[in-house]
Amino acid sequence: MYRKALKMEGFEGVEKRLEMAFSTGARLRQKLTEEALAGILEPVECYIISSKSEEHVDAYLLSTSSCFVHDDRIIVKTCGKTTIFKCMAGIIRTASPQVVTSVLYTRGEFIWPEKQPSPHKSLADENAHLKELVKSIPGLKVMDPLVTGNENMWHVLGAFSTAEVKAEEDVVTVEMSMKGLDTEKASVFFKKTSSNMTEASGVKCIFPGAKLDAYDFEPCGYSMNGVEGKAVSTIHVAPEVGSSFASFEVFGYDFKRGKKFNEVVTQVLATFKPKKFTLTIHSTTVRLNGNEPEFLLDLGGYTCSEKKVKHLGHGSIIYYCF
């Protein structure tokens, strides 16, 4: 497996995440078939392990994380030494530059930044490269980067349409990037310890109504996609001692009327017990101020060391470091 080949030199679990949104009527799922997506991802140096198609989304487990394709949006997450920007040209060509309304790139601080391929060795190089790529998309304005100010940094780059974009509803994404996992919790994600990591770890209890597609890597590591109606969730774990890492993401859940936000975060932390983590909340159409009742946190045992709010296009992002 791809993961096994990289383990000897230390596996980079911290992911790069690319999200591209499109105008209503883009019909991305119809255009971006599994065969087409496989070809687009090849230059990134990852491949499709399995897929699950539901009414509103096509969910793919990749050799280096996940990909989700909606009619108006694609999310690609890759870890290791992947070159995620290399999939952009194929996606833009498939959908048409005229229907792209936003490009958002996020990532945490790499464990081994010096081992990353260009342009991912530095935020400045990534930003310059992204600016060049979005030149082919008419009407997008590149935002100033969001860079956090501590050792557990989070980076946000993006470009957004300058025109008024009509959205049927606000979509919220929550990302958690966790380092220094509890040794006992991390041990579950080794093949020699668990024959079924989904069952042993308890991750299925976070969203019990979701349809799961999971993969246990050899000799260690774990990936999971969950689909529940229009909403998706994904978990990725690199449990190696000295560089243990886990990521958690949910997209499209309604925390006002559905499962409570603080409850979900608490369950994730109980699953991994990280020494430190970052958390971001991204709203596509609402200007959040960081004090919304549905997003308040009460996390015993963790102290927030940094909080930032940044407006992104027509929406916003809230960042926390614990």
122 is a catalytic site residue: no
223 is a catalytic site residue: yes
Residue 72 makes CB contacts below 8 A (sequence gap 6+) with: 21, 22, 23, 24, 26, 28
**N-term to C-term CA, the chain:** 33
155 is a catalytic site residue: no
- Distance between CA 248 and CA 235 in Å, rounded? 5
236 is a catalytic site residue: yes
316 is a catalytic site residue: no
Catalytic residue among 120, 236, 282, 314: 236
Catalytic residue among 102, 223, 233, 244: 223
Residue 79: strand, helix, or coil? coil
> For 187-264, where are the E strands, in sequence order?
211-216, 222-228, 231-238, 245-251
12 is a catalytic site residue: yes
Catalytic residue among 79, 87, 220, 321: 79
Q: Is 289 exposed, middle or buried (0-12, 13-18, 19+ CB in 10 A)?
A: exposed
User: Residue 310 to residues 164, 178, 208: CA-CA distances in angstroms?
Assistant: 19, 22, 32
Catalytic residue among 46, 63, 65, 228: 65
The dihedral built from the CA positions of residue 315, 27, 256 and 259, taken in this order, carries a sign that is: negative
> Which residues are marked as active site?
12, 15, 65, 79, 223, 236
